[in-house]
Amino acid sequence: MPIDSISSVTDKPTPEYSPMPLPQKQAGAKSAANLTAEEQQEVEALKKRDTEVRQHERAHLAAAGPFAKGGAAYKFKTGPDGQRYAVSGEVEIDVTPVADDPAATIKKAQTIKKAALAPASPSSQDFGVAARARQMEAKAKQELAAQQQEQLQNYGRNGQPANSQPQPKLLNVMA
């Protein structure tokens, strides 16, 4: 089952997601001693999945830095023991370019790409976000190169504006 883990920014998590830090036991649930062998296997699988999902999302959060928008949001499944286990999750990351600053956008895109690929096993959605970050980085590099080219065109080799007359060099000669 893929871990849906990283997404573009929205104001709030989707309704089926809720940020709950630990599994919660439901009222009237069976105790571990009352579970069948099949139910015990399901609980073990859910525990394993819960751990994988939480580790995956923590990796995104750690690498995203200031671009993470809040904490991780999880989708839960209630096991036969009445506990709620995270079965998928997501971390919202701001993927908008930095306005009028291609150099900052390049750094941001690199951080987003790193965050998307931070987990040991990135999901297909993670790879998609990384690809978008690479595109954002490439576009920002083009913008930065265009800015630099424009600056070069506006100045001559001697650092003077291209349309100005060279200033005479003055030497102080002391006798």
| pLDDT in the model for residue 18 | 43
Q: What is d(CA 85, CA 25) in angstroms, rounded to the nearest whole number?
A: 10
Residue 10 maps to a domain: yes
Residue 168 maps to a domain: no
Residue 18 maps to a domain: yes
Would you say 3 and 52 are in contact if contact means Cβ atoms under 8 Å apart? yes
Cα three-residue angle 96-102-108, rounded to 5 degrees: 50
Number of domains the chain contains: 1
Q: What is d(CA 118, CA 45) in angstroms, rounded to the nearest whole number?
A: 24
| pLDDT in the model for residue 153 | 82
| pLDDT in the model for residue 13 | 37
| pLDDT in the model for residue 61 | 96
**Which is it for strands 6-7 and 84-92: parallel, antiparallel or unpaired?**
parallel
Residue 172 maps to a domain: no
Q: Is 4 helix (H, G, I), strand (E, B) or coil?
A: coil
Q: What is d(CA 131, CA 14) in angstroms, rounded to the nearest whole number?
A: 23
| pLDDT in the model for residue 6 | 59
Q: Is 69 helix (H, G, I), strand (E, B) or coil?
A: coil
Residue 48 maps to a domain: yes
- Domain of residue 129: give its range: 6-145
| pLDDT in the model for residue 9 | 39
Contacts of residue 101, Cβ cutoff 8 Å, sequence gap at least 6: none
Residue 35 maps to a domain: yes
Mean pLDDT by 10 residues, the chain (175 residues): 43 40 56 87 97 97 95 96 96 95 97 97 96 97 93 71 56 55
Residue 170 maps to a domain: no
| pLDDT in the model for residue 10 | 34
Residue 108 maps to a domain: yes
| pLDDT in the model for residue 165 | 56
